[in-house]
Amino acid sequence: MAHYQIEDVSFQYPNCSEKTLDHITITIEEGEFVLLCGPSGSGKTTLLRQLKREVRPEGNRSGSIYYRGIGLDQLDERRSIEEIGMVFQDPDNQIVMNTVWQELTFGMENLGYSTAQMQRRVGELVQFFGMEEWLHLPIHELSGGQKQLVNLASVMTLRPRVLLLDEPTAQLDPIAAKEFIQLLSRINEEFSLTIIISEHRIEEVVPHATQLVMLNQGQIAYLGTPDQVMKQIWKDEDALFLPYLPSIGRLYLEIEKASDARAVPMSVKEGRRWLAGKQEQRQAAGKSLSESVKVDWEQVEPLLTCKELYFTYDKNAPLVLKRLSLSIHEGEFFALLGANGSGKSTLLQQIAGAHKPQRGDILYAGKSLLRKSTVERSRMIGYVAQNPMLYFTRDTVREQLMDRLRRLSEHSSIEKLNELVARFDVESIMDKHPFDISGGQQQKIALMLVLLADPKLLLLDEPTKGLDPISKHRLAELLEMIRAGGTTIVMVSHDIEFAASYASRCGLLFNGAMVAVEDTRSFLQSNYFYTTTIHRTVGDVLPEAITVKDVWEQWGN
């Protein structure tokens, strides 16, 4: 008997003209690892929420969902809570209690387990999840990755048979995300738990998945094993889903044309094995990359110079920035990479003027920024924080933008706003509440609020976090457009693939200082860990290649 049978399910939110889910039929066997993909707004979250009665949204529902042959509505309440576990996107929002220990027992306390039972289950679980060290810490002292582990563990205390996960790693950094996915795969392997996960970072999840479901506008676009689906997307040349393909898989399909029956390689190891068998391609490797006009950024006049910055948040806290020096040149797109907590965001906020450095100076076009007032500064430098929600104080997008315009008075104009609205293509959402639009759209609005002041320098804090591949691509186009308009961009990011494709220079921040600053290609070439999967796969054959495009240029025809 199938674990889940989703039969012809359609769903429509109240006051919504279109169906969010449109005749979905999927059968999921026990122990499967199902990956749900699709652009934001395609109905992934809605579909996941249909699978657990307690979190089902209100609306018009048709079709039926069976859990082990029982209609979801007939399922016993306790069984539904215990056997179907759900983990949501934001690590912070789902935590209710104050300490890790309390949070772990929350579900069991609700269901009236005995104390002895709870102690035993927590005891077992803490070992498996490796959280002995921080079991008694208050939640606010944990990192995002740890919080998400707590959320998963808290659901696991009820010994579920299915895990539903709604973009669980969207808010995590790549390392924490990888650890989380590996843990999920372990749970899947060792307990044969059925896992249904929606995710944008398909590269990490796809090697574990047994079924891949691609959703588009509430309908199933593709369904099958990852291998089948990827080949099918390639054959259809589906522009909407091509960006979803992991880069190694994409490279394979570009070269092999999906002609043979072999499986698409998904990891660097498989990719290298495949390449090793392609001797004849190595011969062609002599062809060098057609260098697009290469700019020597060091020669360009620096727009912004950080001189030996020292900064700490508190008298007794360790230094976040230690003698940090950095020059940003006019017209470039600079990507600032580095581990979590290395001070990337702090540096960005320093430049933006949120905090003053304890020592050192920041020069903007040769003049010190520290003596300028924050109002003056905010017109020269635009800063877009990680979370666009921070920018919204009004009830509609239009009011929000008009408010900003009013505050800027003579420094901006309604023409400027109209131009931005047209360029960013947001006319359709102008009268919606800023909280009701998608994450990508929210980010656009935050970007517009900042751009209204027409800054010469734009600072972006993790702009690609939580975005689907298509939104990422659109963002890149927008940034390219902004850059063409004469604005210099500095971006903090964990997304190496994004930086590889679009940034002109990259820098690595470590231990409070810049340890490497080079143009993107040579930066990624000389890195071993901090580089793209493509470079790791083809690096010894094509040392210059860092993206699929590069390889294609050298091997193509």
Partner 1 sequence: MIHGFSTLHPRLCFAYFAVLLLSCMMFTHPVYSVLTLLSIVLLNLSLDGGRLLKKGIKGYLIMAIIIFLLNPFFSSRGATILWYVFDRPITLESIIYGALFALSLLNILLAFVAYNLVITPEKLLYLLTPIAPRTAFIITVTLRFVPLLTRRLKHIMTVQRVLGYLHPKASKKHFMREGMETLHTLISWSLEEALQTASSMRARGYGVGKRTSAVSYKMDKRDVLVSWIMVVTGANIVIGGLFGVNRFQVYPRLQSLEWSPQIWLHAACYLVFIFIPIVMNGKEELLWRTIRSKM
How many C-beta neighbours within 10 Å does residue 280 have? 6
Closest CA to 68 of 1, 8, 164, 7: 1
- Nearest of 87, 90, 35, 43 to residue 205 by alpha carbon: 35
Q: How far is the CB of 348 from partner 1 (least distance, A)?
A: 10
Number of residues lying near partner 1 (CB under 8 A): 65
CA–CA gap between residue 488 and residue 81 (Å, rounded) = 51
With binding defined as CB under 8 A, does residue 65 bind partner 1?
no
Applying CB under 8 A, does 140 fall inside the site for partner 1? yes
- Does 418 bind partner 1 (CB under 8 A)? Our answer is no
What is the rounded distance in angstroms from the CA atom of residue 437 to the CA atom of residue 389? 11
State how far the Cα of 298 lies from the Cα of 219, in Å rounded to an integer. 50
With CA atoms as reference, report the closest residue to 492 among 527, 465, 529: 465
Q: Is 407 in the site for partner 1 (CB under 8 A)?
A: yes
The residue among 158 and 324 lying less far from partner 1, judged by its C-beta, is: 158
Q: Does 379 contact partner 1 by CB under 8 A?
A: yes
C-alpha dist (Å) from residue 18 to 60, 218, 458: 11, 9, 37
What is the x/- site pattern for partner 1, positions 313-352, by CB under 8 A? ------------------------------------x--x
Q: Which one of residues 111, 276, 414, 515 is an interface residue with partner 1 (CB under 8 A)? A: 111
| Maximum distance among all Cα pairs of the chain, rounded to whole angstroms | 72
Please tell me whether residue 168 adopts helix, strand or coil conformation.
coil
Segment interacting with partner 1 (CB under 8 A) among 150-158, 247-255, 488-496, 546-554: 150-158
| Cβ closest to partner 1, residue 151 vs residue 216 | 151
Structure-token pair, residue 206: 């796809």
| Least Å from the CB of residue 44 to partner 1 | 16
Of 449, 345, 338, which is closest to residue 388 (Cα–Cα)? 449
- In three-state secondary structure terms, 425 is coil
Which one-letter DSSP state was computed for residue 138? Answer: B
65's enclosing H/E stretch is strand 60-67
For position 78 contacting partner 1 by CB under 8 A, the verdict is: yes
Residue in 16, 175, 284, 354 binding partner 1, rule: CB under 8 A? 354
First to last CA, the chain: 50
Looking at beta carbons only, is 88 or 311 nearer to partner 1?
88
Instruction: Give me the residue label for tokens 């002895």.
Output: 116
Query: Which residue in 10, 27, 55, 483 binds partner 1 (CB under 8 A)?
Result: 55
Shortest spacing between CB 374 and partner 1, in angstroms: 5
* The one among 2, 118, 402, 476 contacting partner 1 by CB under 8 A: 118
CB of 158 to partner 1, least distance (A): 7
Which of residues 113 and 424 has its CB atom nearest to partner 1 in the complex? 113
Query: Do residues 335 and 329 lie in contact, with contact meaning Cβ atoms separated by under 8 Å?
Result: no
**Would you say 350 or 531 has its CB closer to partner 1?**
350
The answer to whether residue 54 forms part of the interface with partner 1 (CB under 8 A) is yes
Looking at residue 452, its amino acid is: L
Residue 112, burial from CB neighbour count under 10 angstroms (0-12, 13-18, 19+): exposed
- Confirm or reject binding of residue 373 to partner 1 (CB under 8 A): yes
- Segment interacting with partner 1 (CB under 8 A) among 168-176, 322-330, 391-399, 520-528: 391-399
- Say whether residue 458 binds partner 1 (CB under 8 A): no
User: Residue 58: which residues within 8 A CB-CB, separation 6 or more?
Assistant: 13, 14
Q: CA of 275: how far to CAs of 358, 437, 517, in Å?
A: 52, 44, 31
User: At its nearest, how many Å lie between partner 1 and the CB of residue 343?
Assistant: 15
| Distance in Å, CB of 279 to partner 1, minimum | 54
> Contact between 385 and partner 1 (CB under 8 A)?
yes
Which of 115, 127, 325, 418 contacts partner 1 by CB under 8 A? 115
Q: Running DSSP on this structure, what letter comes out for residue 100? A: H
Rounded to a whole number of angstroms, the minimum distance from the CB of residue 465 to partner 1 is 14
Point out which residues bind partner 1 (CB under 8 A): 52, 54-55, 77-78, 81-82, 85-86, 88, 90, 92-99, 101-102, 105-115, 118-119, 122, 138-140, 151, 154-155, 158, 349, 352-354, 373-379, 383, 385, 387, 389-393, 407, 435, 449-450
